[in-house]
Amino acid sequence: MHLGRSSFWGLATSLLACTTASGTNNSLPAIEIKGNAYFDSESGERFYIRGVAYQPGGSSNLTDPLGDPQICSRDVPVFKDLGLNAVRVYTVDNTQDHTECMQMLADAGIYVILDVNTPDSSISRFDPACSYNADYLQTIFATIDSFAQFSNILGFFAGNEVINDDTNTNTATYVKAVVRDMKKYMRARNYRQIPVGYSAADVTSNVQLAAHYFNCGDDEDARIDMFGVNDYSWCGYSSFQESGYSVKVKDYSNYSVPIFLSEFGCIKTTPRPFTEIGSIYSTQMSSVFSGGLVYEYSMEANNYGLVQIDDGSSVTKLQDFQNSKNQYQDNPNPEGDGNYSQNNNISACPSYQQGTWEANNTLPPMPSAASVFFSMGAGQPMGTGYPTQFRCGDANVSDYFTADATSSSIISSSKSSSSSKSSASSSSFSSSSSSSSHVSSGTTSSKSSSKSKGGALAAAQIPLVFRAMGHIWNYIL
């Protein structure tokens, strides 16, 4: 893996902006949104997500599966055998070339739902205001630059389970700001307007509040285009009524954008029979839900895997694989449009209530230093080992560009950027890792990387450590 600041970076980003406007990967038609459902942009048929969560190695052995053609060559045929049309990937390395793997997936008829965060670069549950900074936006914009060209990108997730209990609902304000910034960035760079959404933890007290919050307000850019729920309420041989699925359909019946199960697959009964698939792809749910993704592809420490990875070239298909495959095969999509809703209204914003819902309906402005990315692109991608969560304050955005691409305006704008430090505290010192809820999430790891921008990364480590110690001490007090 090479960092290398190419002297042609400015030219490359300009060419990328031109080519991605129309899309260089045309093997699959883009999926578009109408009302609360997905549709194939060419055939006009309703599209239901039939997918799997895909992050082999988990957070303990973080690997970008879309950056290694050998991994893709091993797994894509297994996806086809399973009958998938989508995978969800939680962490990618934006310094890698993903062309070959994305083409393999497209040739197999498979779309990608991509989380743009990394464990080291995401909105922090502990200090969301500090973590929402220009360096953080650069990392997610660089990931958009890496993937916007592919027509089989179904959507981006701006956050995964950032809200995971009653103590950190204030983080939603900053995630919603990220949704806004991502959508504006894609428009400024002349990219296809790829749907941007949020994947929520199924926290009974606030998951519906989160759904309505992310889908409310007058600013269309700040509203999500899709909503995912990580849901494990159907266990074993349950039913539409017993599992609570019937209640979820009722609760979201008037929601105006597509909803799907961004993770499902309770392991209280093993091997899992996956009988929920029969309801997910039926008219019981099709008027509201647009499919889902089984958690997860590979067997990790949490024991949710469908396959056991043997080595770089082979996997062993477990009984959960066969059971989910059978259910996918036995339960085709509903005929026609599935009774989707075209004209549901956007949600009413939930009111602030201390201890229950503490998200602000007035979003923070984008850090001013990040505005240069709209005109020049994100510049040099920094990879997965680049911590940004405690970089509140000035951002040296000129470091992301080569000398010939750097202008005085970049330097000037970077000096003017600052972000206020949040006074809110959380019950745990953790971040909104891009990894799934069932994989140990990275928080403030300062893992070194050959892709770091010179001494900037090393310089960041000292204040990061002391700041973390201070936060922990204050929490103890």
Residues marked as catalytic:
161, 263
Long-range contact set of residues 301-310: C-beta below 8 Å, sequence gap at least 24: 301/58, 301/60, 302/58, 302/438, 302/439, 303/267, 303/270, 304/265, 304/267, 304/438, 306/52, 306/82, 307/78, 309/56
Both tokens assigned to 265: 């697959």
Q: Among residues 73, 90, 63, which one has the least CA distance to residue 1?
A: 63
Amino acid at the residue 85: N
In angstroms, rounded to a whole number, what is the distance separating the alpha carbons of residues 111 and 48? Answer: 11
Interacting residues of 101 by C-beta distance below 8 A, sequence separation 6+: 65, 66, 67, 68, 69, 71, 72, 76
Are 118 and 444 in contact by the 8 Å Cβ rule? The answer is no
Q: Residue 157 is inside which H or E element, if any?
A: strand 153-160
Q: Among residues 159, 252, 251, 166, which one has the least CA distance to residue 205?
A: 166
Cα angle value 160/388/153 (rounded, 5°): 45
Range 85-109 burial, b when 16+ CB lie within 10 A, else e: bbbbbbbbbbbbebeebbbbbbebe
Name residue, tokens 């933890």. Answer: 201
In angstroms, rounded to a whole number, what is the distance separating the alpha carbons of residues 400 and 201? Answer: 34
In angstroms, rounded to a whole number, what is the distance separating the alpha carbons of residues 224 and 180? Answer: 8
Q: Among residues 210, 88, 112, which one has the least CA distance to residue 161?
A: 210
Q: Among residues 232, 227, 168, 174, which one has the least CA distance to residue 199?
A: 227
Supply the DSSP string of 326-340, one letter for each residue: HHHHH-PPPSTTTT-
Both tokens assigned to 238: 């349950």
Are 282 and 241 in contact by the 8 Å Cβ rule? The answer is no
Q: Three-state SS for 134? A: helix
Name residue, tokens 């980003």. Answer: 13
